[in-house]
Amino acid sequence: MTGSEESPSFRLAYVPGVTPTKWVRIWNERLPDVPLTLLGVPAAEAFGVLRDGGADAGFVRLPVDAADLSAIPLYTETTVVVIPKDHVVAAVEEITAEELADEIVLHPLDDTLAWERLPGRPAIERPATTADAIELVAAGVGVLIVPQSLARLHHRKDLTYRPVSGTPESRVALSWPQEETTDLVEEFIGIVRGRTVNSTRGRPPTPPQPKKKRPDKGGAQRKPAAGKSAGKGGRGGSGGTAGAKGAKGAGGAKGAKRGKPRRRP
């Protein structure tokens, strides 16, 4: 938890181009009593803000120093070239880096792409920021290759952009200090990863309930009830008594015949 125990809060940093609106909305729905503060920081300063405790977590651009920061890669951005609307490249849907060989490609000091070799021709000097480079593109000085989110961030009516292949890509990640994985950080990780409010992460699993045995219907039919057995036995007993009486009566009759004296002639 950050802040005081009585009033927890969460500070989320984000670099230019990243739009955290969706995740912030979900946070406010699930944790309305924990205010979330957004901190926009330059890409080059984001890691320092996390290390110094200026933010609990942040959306950054990879790579991240794994020695003291944890990171979850989220998505990879399309790389585009920013050009004036009347530029010849605006007539095509996509371009390759090799097709920019004759263009002056601006390389701002805050560039977020890991270039091995910049395509095209270099400018006389490097612009200080991406925003400055955008102004130079609008002035017709050169073109600029950036992640698509930065092209949208610096949108101008007189500029457009097209996807460019054969260039580095920028990956966005959620990062936080390894030693500060608090409960609130875990909550935000769950939101970013799409876990629902009913997720069992961090909760003890419900123990399995024993299955109820179904009654053996066949056995119940085969096994006579006590009352029925008694009834059958009673009927059998009555029959036996009647038979005994019949036998006794028959025997008595025969005995009576044998015991009658014969008359002599």
| Residues in CB range of 25: below 8 A, 6 or more apart | none
Quick: pLDDT tens for 3-28: 445 578 999 999 999 999 999 999 99
120-124, 140-144, 188-192, 200-204: range with lowest mean pLDDT: 200-204
List, in order of start, the domains of the chain with CATH numbers: 7-76+171-192 (3.40.190.10), 79-165 (3.40.190.10)
> How many whole angstroms separate alpha carbon 223 and alpha carbon 210?
27
The pTM of this model reads: 0.70
> How many whole angstroms separate alpha carbon 43 and alpha carbon 45?
5
> How many whole angstroms separate alpha carbon 53 and alpha carbon 93?
44
State residue 121 phi and psi, 5-degree precision.
-105, 140
CB 82 within 8 A of CB 146: yes
Quick: pLDDT tens for 175-229: 999 987 899 999 999 999 998 876 645 444 444 555 555 655 554 445 554 444 4
13 bridge partner residues: 39, 58
Quick: pLDDT tens for 37-51: 999 999 999 999 999
According to the model, what pLDDT value does residue 195 have?
Answer: 87
Q: What is the separation of C-alpha 86 from the centre of its chain, rounded to a whole number of angstroms?
A: 44
Q: Over the chain, what is the mean pLDDT?
A: 82
> How many whole angstroms separate alpha carbon 59 and alpha carbon 175?
6
Total count of residues recorded for the chain: 265
Give SS3 for 189.
helix
Region 85-95: mean pLDDT is: 95
Q: Is the peptide bond before 63 cis (omega within 30 degrees of 0)?
A: yes
- The residue ranking higher by pLDDT, 250 or 51, is 51
CB 146 within 8 A of CB 112: yes
